[in-house]
Amino acid sequence: MFMLKFDISSLPHFSDPEFRIDTNICFVYGRNGTGKSSLADFIKNDSVNKGRFCYVFSGFDGILSENRKLEALVLGEKNVEIDNKITSLVAKRDSLITKREELNKKITPPVDGEDNLFSNKQSAEDEYNNIFEKIKKSESKFAAKIKNYTPQIATPSYNIKNFQDESKFATSLSDAQIEELTTLLRAEIKEAKKIPFLLVDFHEIFEDVNALLKKYVVEKKIIARFQNSPERIQFAQMGLNLHKANDICSFCGNRITKDCLQELQGYFSAKDVSIFQNEIITKEKELLDYLSKVHSLSVDTNEFYPNFKNSATILSTKIENQKIIISDFLNKLHSAVLKKKSELFAASSVLQIDIPSDFSELSKEYELLRQNNNSINIQVKQDEAKSLLRYHEIQKALIDATYVQLKRDLSKQEIVKTIAQKEFECEQDKISGHNGLDEQILDIDKQIESLKKQTSNEKLLADEINKKLKSYVSFELVHSKGELGPGYYLVNDLVTGEKRNVSEVSTGERNIIAFLYFLGKLKSVSENIRYSRLIIFDDPVNSNDDLMQYIIICELQRLIESLFKDDSVLIFTHNKHFYLNVSYGYKYFNERNNKKSDKQINGNVASFIHFLSDSKKTTIEYISNKDKDFRTNYDSLWPELKFLYNCNSASAELLLNPIRRIIETFVKFNSSSYYGFFNGNNSAKKLLDVNSRSVDDLEAELNGLTKQEIIDLLKNCFIKNNALDHFDKHWLE
């Protein structure tokens, strides 16, 4: 015995804990909102978990979709799934493109003078360049001033670049340094001459003079009148040199006799006296020569370059001071030697004076200074002087108040420019940088292209669908052979031969295409693999015209007739007309005929189920015979009314909607007036008009009547319309 049971206690829609299917064919009617789709999904998931093969048709969603950008229909579950992914990716790409466009507005020249990151960056750069140009003009003026400096300190081609390159060498000079360097630039070639310094041993000379002073001549002939007086002897010697024989003496006035002269000549011409006198004269000449050499010592400072002239001046002063000391020393020695001339015959007093330093150290110092001066390459020194003077002028320029302020302004503006540039580049990187919008969009394009290649060709099924619909619709599906992909189909108008806009394909037309595709897939699977299947149709008729309903009904009946005995079909619908027609001719479960072929199910045995809702929960009602089922749309309204009347959880207000539909259907069928039906029962009409449109609060008692009072009002209206038998037939069954 066939039976499937499902534990639905977890589904909030249903008051019943279980749903069962007693036969291979099951028809379920329930109004929208009674939980049909939820139950279909539950059964599918439960079947998958238990290893059953379950196929669900719930409309064209998931089987057929449209791609309006490509103006094509997408056919096939896999293709629709891929197209949904593509659509999602396209939406994402469009969002990224929109975002990129918004970002581009920030980093491209603005419209109507509005400020953005581009204009901010441009303004910052313009201001920076403006200040920079002012600095360049200042530096050009500085360079020109240096080029025209007197004396010349720069090449004739000196320019701003030279100024900028030499700025790192800028330094300040004192006035004295400037004067010295300027003088050096004007200087000619200098060469200091050697000085013949007196390089003698003053200790030795001093000892020699003292030794000479101690020395004397022993007299060979004594002249009494001299009385051994050196002064008298010197006076006599002077007279001898001044007078001749017979001259009158300049001192005493007496005539000088020849004998007197001969006596004196004999006295002073003695050999020892002559030798000693010559010795004194030699020493005197020697000292005079020393004095002459000392006096001739002179440092010509003009022979020195400016950078050595100060040193030469200092050294010259030291030499002059030393000359004075040495000259005084030599003069004292010379005076003592001169005095010794009159003291030949007695020892003289020795000198007690300080011995000065000689010129040896000063000579070395001068020679070193002279060599340094003479070794100078004046051209090199003048080039160095020019450079130092240039660096000084550069330093003066660099500390110029206006120039300093411009440099400060430039530094501040550079920060502003850098910030604006970084903000601009940050937004730019969001577009063209690593993992930016350009890269993301390109990646999405690659994904879309890859997905298009994964779509499968459903041309055979599309051809089969075209055959079945040829007599009913004015279009056909044409497989796209272009870049769209194998799962895309154009809609070709059979009348005009032109491609139709996919938006012109109605919901009913889409539904029938998807329905026929679903059946075609079932057939193709069953031909290749044999296993038991549970096939569910969840509201296969939705917004279809009558013609499409009958196509679906016929195709479902053909499917049922072709099922294998282990297969089962479960059809959910909210459409009473469809429910009545698709189930027409099938026996109810308790009337079933047990005869079955070996291969196929006897198609006239089925289960019939109604889903009834009290607006809070759905009750499952299993229909055991045809008398319990409704035969027309109108017949279905009375069981619904009775269900709500008997349902304890349903409020009295819920009875009003089915009652209103019953009355409207009744008066239309009998071609009578809706207002006349109430026959003066205004309270009943008012009750229905006010309460049967919609229910705002299911917990509230809006009308104040009980369920029985409402039914009595309805019965009374039928009595007044001479239709009590009609009421009793439908209410009391």
Question: Does 85 map to a domain?
Answer: no
User: Residue 661: its pLDDT value, please?
Assistant: 78
Instruction: Please identify, among 500, 529, 558, the residue that sits at the C-terminal boundary of a domain.
Output: 529
User: Residue 667: its pLDDT value, please?
Assistant: 76
Q: Give the domain range for residue 47.
A: 1-52+532-618
In tens, the pLDDT along 171-199 reads 999 999 999 899 888 878 888 999 999 99
Separation of alpha carbons 563 and 582, rounded Å:
16
- Section 410-418 average pLDDT: 96
CB neighbours (10 Å) of residue 134? 15
User: Residue 120: its pLDDT value, please?
Assistant: 93
Instruction: Please identify, among 426, 454, 482, the residue that sits at the C-terminal boundary of a domain.
Output: 454
Judgement on whether residues 251 and 322 belong to the same structural domain of the protein? yes
Question: Does 154 map to a domain?
Answer: no
Question: Does 118 map to a domain?
Answer: yes
Amino acid at position 145, single letter: K
Q: What angle do CA 453, 457, 461 make, to 5 degrees?
A: 160
User: Residue 595: its pLDDT value, please?
Assistant: 44
Q: SS3 of 110, please?
A: coil
In tens, the pLDDT along 241-284 reads 777 777 888 788 788 887 677 667 666 655 677 788 899 999 99
Residue 596's pLDDT band (cuts 50, 70, 90): very low
| Rounded (to 5) percent helix, strand, coil in the chain | 55, 10, 35
- Section 324-329 average pLDDT: 95
Question: Does 195 map to a domain?
Answer: no
Judgement on whether residues 447 and 328 belong to the same structural domain of the protein? no
The HSE-up count of residue 253 (CA atoms within 13 Å, CB side) is 0
Instruction: Give, rounded to a whole angstrom, the gap between the first and last alpha carbons of the chain.
Output: 31
Amino acid at position 368, single letter: L
Residue 546's pLDDT band (cuts 50, 70, 90): low
Judgement on whether residues 277 and 352 belong to the same structural domain of the protein? yes
Question: Does 500 map to a domain?
Answer: yes
In tens, the pLDDT along 101-150 reads 989 988 898 887 788 999 999 999 999 999 999 999 999 999 999 999 99
Judgement on whether residues 559 and 491 belong to the same structural domain of the protein? no
Amino acid at position 37, single letter: S
CATH of the domain at 34: 3.40.50
What is the domain count for the chain? 6
Separation of alpha carbons 211 and 219, rounded Å:
20
Question: Does 255 map to a domain?
Answer: yes
Percent of the chain, pLDDT > 90?
A: 37
User: Residue 698: its pLDDT value, please?
Assistant: 36
Judgement on whether residues 232 and 339 belong to the same structural domain of the protein? yes
Contact criterion met (CB below 8 Å) for 558 and 574:
no
User: Residue 489: its pLDDT value, please?
Assistant: 74
SS (H, E, C) 421-441: HHHHHHHHHHHHCCCCHHHHH
In tens, the pLDDT along 418-444 reads 999 999 999 999 999 899 999 999 999
Question: Does 81 map to a domain?
Answer: no
Higher-scoring residue by pLDDT: 612, 592: 612
Judgement on whether residues 393 and 404 belong to the same structural domain of the protein? no
- Section 517-544 average pLDDT: 74
Question: Does 93 map to a domain?
Answer: no
Judgement on whether residues 610 and 664 belong to the same structural domain of the protein? no
Judgement on whether residues 263 and 206 belong to the same structural domain of the protein? yes
User: Residue 565: its pLDDT value, please?
Assistant: 75
Least confident residue range of 7-21, 244-258, 377-391: 244-258
Q: Which long-range contacts (CB under 8 A, 24 or more apart) does 314-322 make?
A: 315/362, 315/365, 315/366, 315/369, 318/362, 319/359, 319/362, 319/366, 322/356, 322/357, 322/359, 322/362
Separation of alpha carbons 285 and 651, rounded Å:
162
Judgement on whether residues 4 and 34 belong to the same structural domain of the protein? yes
Instruction: Please identify, among 511, 529, 547, the residue that sits at the C-terminal boundary of a domain.
Output: 529
Judgement on whether residues 450 and 316 belong to the same structural domain of the protein? no
Judgement on whether residues 227 and 345 belong to the same structural domain of the protein? yes
Percent of the chain, pLDDT > 70?
A: 81
Judgement on whether residues 445 and 460 belong to the same structural domain of the protein? no
